[in-house]
Amino acid sequence: MRFLSPYRELFSLPRFGSSLFAAVAAKLRPGISSLALLLEVAHYRGFDQAAVVVSVSALAGATLPLRGRLVDRYGYPLVLAPALVAYLVTLAVLVLNESTRGPFAVTLVSAFLSGLSAPPIQIVTRLMWGTLTTGTLRTTVLSLDAMLTDVGFIVGPTIAAFLVVVVAPWAGLAASALLCACSTLLLLSRRPPKPPKRESSEKRHWLGPLGNQVLRRTMAAAVSFFLGVRAIELAFPAWAQQHHAPLMSGVLLSCMSVGSVGGGLIRGALPERWSAKATLPVTLVVLCLGTLLVAAASFSWTAVLIAAAAVMGIALGPSFVALWVMASDLSPADMSAETLSWISSCMSLGGSVGAAVGSVVAAAAGPASLLVVSAVALATASWLAHLAIAARPAADQLPGVDVHQAVKAGEP
């Protein structure tokens, strides 16, 4: 049972239970909120207008790096508390306007403002793990965090659909608001670390992490990484459609998700001497090879493809963990929240590009070709991550960077 000792040690930490609950609430909320918003507006106005509202709300997510910068500058209590109030008020206005068949413009503005004011609880929970753990335990807790993210996006939409159908059209949004409030209040109840301050002679580069060559390469790796992941997610439905087996898309995606969760948990249980070798360039190379294996298996029996999808998924979870560990290690202490916010935004950008490119490639050349494109994107991400790590010793020459602060960014 020594294999599970990192998790036993993690769960024995003081106040870990409340921290875990805050993280679970933070992971469930995104999976609930988007579908709940879609179903709430669709109930009164139809799916066409509901899709516009969801798109407008998602557009506000582009401001996440700005909220991360505010967290770095003022600390998360001064950012989370007013953001939570604004989020709850705008969400209440949206629900009230829909229930009274109010103007569509009010719904659009409320959706945008709710997305704009949503507390950045996912970013703050990752910062919380950095203050709670160090060394190997930090990798373990980030592995657990990645697993919770996967579970949240699987379970969240199911909860939203159930509440909307069984309770009321507004019930999904109410659950999203409740989870956001619980997570925020739990985070505020912890003793937050003081925001790091620079010496008076130092000036923070106005671009923040974007002014740092090392972090720019890390962000580029995140874009290419998630482009490849989204291409994989599109390749499975394309294969199922090509073989007139629509249910197989769900089976293949589920197998990949199960492999991802298992791989992430295994990554967190590895001893330090092995865990330290599982860097982002390494895990992405393994994921690239796994994707090529799936591409080859797509020409074989269905059972072989299912097994290949599960095996490939084992490298997916550790890649997410390695990305967050790398971002935490390379970001200066006074840019931690903004850096993690940019990484999240870059992953969203990569996913959007991957969806656009993937749909074209799948229609023109088939799912196997799309998987090859995904492998190329993953190999590119591995190369970019390697360049970022290789350039790390020169980081103290870049604007607004302190290597020693970067190393200590995850320590209490």
Task: List C-alpha distances in Å: 366 to 112, 241, 359.
Answer: 37, 10, 10
Q: 412 burial class (0-12, 13-18, 19+ CB within 10 angstroms)?
A: exposed
Domains 17-189 and 208-407 share a fold: yes
- pLDDT tens, 263-291? 888 888 877 777 777 789 999 999 999 99
Query: Any idea which fold 208-407 has?
Result: Growth Hormone; Chain: A; (1.20.1250)
pLDDT confidence of residue 192: 56
pLDDT confidence of residue 270: 78
Domain ranges in the chain are 17-189, 208-407
User: Could you report the average pLDDT of every consecutive run of 10 residues in the chain (412 residues)?
Assistant: 72 84 90 89 88 86 87 87 95 94 93 92 85 79 84 84 90 94 89 54 65 90 94 92 86 89 84 78 95 94 94 92 88 85 91 89 91 96 94 51 38 32
Q: How many CB atoms lie within 10 A of CB 74?
A: 11
pLDDT confidence of residue 401: 42
Pick from 335, 344, 322: nearest CA to 406: 335
pLDDT confidence of residue 316: 92
How many residues appear in the chain?
A: 412
Query: Any idea which fold 17-189 has?
Result: Growth Hormone; Chain: A; (1.20.1250)
- pLDDT tens, 343-370? 999 998 898 899 889 889 988 999 999 9
pLDDT confidence of residue 103: 94
Pick from 351, 384, 381: nearest CA to 153: 351
Distance CA 215, CA 207 (A): 12
pLDDT confidence of residue 397: 43
Q: What is the pTM of this model?
A: 0.83
